[in-house]
Structure 1
Amino acid sequence: MADLQEYKEPPAFNAPSVVIALVAAIFAVFLLQAYGGRELSGDLLIWGSLIPARYAPAVDGNLYFFPGGILADLWTFITYAFLHGGWTHVIFNSIWLLAFGTPVARRIGTARFLTFYLICAIIGGITHVVIYAGELTPVVGASAAVSGLMGGAARFVFLAGGPLGMIGTGQTGLPGAPRAQASILQALTDRRTLIFIAIWIGMNLLFGITGLTPSGQIVSVAWEAHLGGFFAGLLLFGFFDPIKTSPSGGPGNVGYGEWKG
């Protein structure tokens, strides 16, 4: 008879290392912004934020030239997601990154997760630039990328075997359930997923249009970038979600053994 392995309680804080590293990078950049001096803070903003006037004549009719040229025109679609406008901004984004990045990273792995995260940031940034062509106001924050993680998570968290798969089913748990494929059709025909999407869009419209934040402050919110990132994550997640196979080599449609692939 095989020896039974001693049961160990899961750690209270067990986010994947890639998620921890992203949060650490975001905080490191923010600390440079906040305490590196006015000159460094200004350089980070002009070199790293997303400024729609880089890509079209400004709303005042002038054509501005920004540092970095064509290369900065490209890298700012990524670097803006590592800059933030204040402690509240960076803390809330980090909390949501931990909450939604953890299940997504566990499901698709480190390399796919990073690629997915950055693509959502880029598409969110493009959405904002297209809508606000020529605006001189810089955009900063990981919100579009984190919104993409929320959209990706919506594809599978309510499925059988997902973190929230038992909600609304009358079951207390789904031990041994196979990992269901996160198809877009299945997600958009699941009532729980649709409710989650509707609530998320409603909150973004509320906070985006009113400028009111959960902390009670009135700020300018790039909610269109959030929507762009969210729908990028929702629609593109399937391309990053590898199909698992059972030990016999078949598709992941049985609930026994260890998964591989």
Structure 2
Amino acid sequence: MNEMVRPPIEPAAREPAINAPRVVVALLALLAGIHLIWTFASDQLKLQIILLFAFLPARYDPAVLQGEILPGGAGADVWTFLTYAFLHGSWAHLVFNGIWMLAFGSAVAWRFGTARFLLFSAVCSVAGAATHLAVHWGDEAVVIGASAAISGYMAAATRFMFQPGAPLGLFRIGGATAFRVPALPLREVLRDRRVLVFLVIWFAANLLTGLGTLSLGGEGPAIAWEAHVGGFLAGLVLFPLFDPVLPGDQPGPAIEAGPPPE
């Protein structure tokens, strides 16, 4: 007598809860961990953290300091151009930045890979702080938040996301390969009406925040919109220096796992 044995049914592959590159998830977890520590820190410790790691334009104006040496000394004069991006003023500020990081940072990370993405993030953060310093030399208000880096992600995304075959372009290739479409030169990208509309809306929104007529993300009474602009321009102009996809390349798999194929 023969028995009918049913073969075991393999469970369907489960989609990840967060469909984003690992580097983006790890960076968001790091930012959340830092803010969690900040939340439970004493007022004295918070002040020390601000003086050591936030970006303070007054550091660079001897007339403001009047001989006072701030915590961190000359070292903090350098590292705060970057470390300010790891601090946030509130959970709302962090969540707001996290949403935009997931949206635009993921696209850039899929294209750049981990090392290039992290270096690009650092460059845009530094560019944002430098721009803010140029406009607010000697200001005693500190700057914190990852918005300059995120602005850089937005700018980098405009360099390739709208092209034919790309995720927001016509005739999308589909899947992770869409994030590896060779980018056009900036002068050609700026001929795309969708890019121009995005740029106009982005700069208008930042101008409105600068004028105090628009509040975003719970960043407090003032938003360092000049830092946003600095990070955005750095991402827009410096994109080719980080892009691993050369103009003549054929679209290939993304460096990290991208969205599931359609």
Structure 1 length as normaliser, TM-score?
0.84
User: AA paired with 1:134?
Assistant: G
Paired residue for 2:51? 46
Query: Is the contact made by 2:92 and 2:218 (CA closer than 8 Å) also made in structure 1?
Result: no
Using the TM superposition, give the Cα deviation of residue 154 of structure 1 relative to its aligned residue in structure 2, in angstroms.
1.0
Paired residue for 1:152? 156
Q: How far apart in 2 are the matches of 1:68 and 1:124? A: 21
1:32 has 2:29 as partner: no
Using the TM superposition, give the Cα deviation of residue 11 of structure 1 relative to its aligned residue in structure 2, in angstroms.
4.1
Using the TM superposition, give the Cα deviation of residue 8 of structure 1 relative to its aligned residue in structure 2, in angstroms.
6.1
Query: Is the contact made by 1:58 and 1:136 (CA closer than 8 Å) also made in structure 2?
Result: no
Structure 1 residue runs of 5 or longer lacking an equivalent are 1-6, 246-250
Secondary structure at the counterpart of residue 141 of structure 1: coil
Q: How far apart in 2 are the matches of 1:91 and 1:57? A: 36
Q: How far apart in 2 are the matches of 1:130 and 1:40? A: 29
Query: Is the contact made by 2:181 and 2:245 (CA closer than 8 Å) also made in structure 1?
Result: no
Bigger CA radius of gyration = 2
CA RMSD between the two structures: 2.6
Secondary structure at the counterpart of residue 213 of structure 1: coil
1:18 has 2:23 as partner: yes
Secondary structure at the counterpart of residue 45 of structure 1: helix
Paired residue for 2:191? 189
Q: Deviations over 1:66-97 (max 9, x none)?
A: 11111111100111000111121111011111
**1:125 and 1:216, CA in 2 relative to 1: closer, same or farther beyond 3 A?**
closer
Q: How far apart in 2 are the matches of 1:162 and 1:8? A: 26
Using the TM superposition, give the Cα deviation of residue 125 of structure 1 relative to its aligned residue in structure 2, in angstroms.
0.2
User: AA paired with 2:53?
Assistant: G
Structure 2 length as normaliser, TM-score?
0.83
Percent sequence identity is 44
Q: Which has the higher contact order (CA 8 A, sep 6+)?
A: 2
Q: How does 1:54-73 map to 2 (within 5 A)?
A: 54-58=59-63, 62-73=66-77
Using the TM superposition, give the Cα deviation of residue 183 of structure 1 relative to its aligned residue in structure 2, in angstroms.
2.3
1:239 has 2:245 as partner: no
Count residues in correspondence: 242
Secondary structure at the counterpart of residue 211 of structure 2: helix
Q: How far apart in 2 are the matches of 1:139 and 1:260? A: 34
User: AA paired with 2:136?
Assistant: Y
Q: How far apart in 1 are the matches of 2:56 and 2:149? A: 17
Paired residue for 1:98? 102
